[in-house]
Amino acid sequence: MSELATVSAEIAPYLAMAASSLGTSVLTAAQQRITEHTVDAGEGFFRRLLGRDGDRLGGGAAPVLDVDRATSLDARLARLDDTERRALAEAVADWLAGPVTARDAAGFLSHMAPHLSGTTINSPTTYGDHSAAIGVVNGTVHLGGGTDTGRAS
């Protein structure tokens, strides 16, 4: 599933761009194509976003999607296995079913997170002020009793 995590992070800004500029019907079609294995490097979803005459989308605050980047993203999608494709399609469907205000890259990645393996949640108990029982943590550490957070590495 590490390939799925990488692909998800790479495509998130472009999915958000498509959702805001082209609407959900385009993404719903893409979701079906991802599930059905019809995304490929030559005529995949991102290549189609550019259209026949377009050579790039985005710019300014939006990520730029050009022919080379579109082809690369489609190739990455094409390499996903069936399980990864289903997970990606489910995340896209959940994301589209959610509020319009959450149709950004972060919103998509939050729907993708439950489909990615390797996430472990532990709830250790310690005693005493400011005590923490921590092994190896990748992510954000929240210590109870306050609003401060610390970033673990």
The pLDDT tens digits for 48-97 are 777 665 667 776 666 778 888 888 888 888 888 888 888 888 888 888 88
In angstroms, the CA 137 to CA 20 distance is: 35
42: confidence class by pLDDT, cuts 50, 70, 90: very low
Q: Which two tokens stand for residue 32?
A: 């079906």
Is residue 130 a contact partner of residue 113, using CB atoms and an 8 Å limit?
A: no
pLDDT value, residue 132 = 62
The residues, any chain, with a CB within 8 Å of residue 66's CB and separated by 6 or more, are 50, 55, 56
The more confidently predicted of residues 78 and 32 is 78
Residue in 143, 140, 142 with CA at minimum distance from that of residue 151: 140
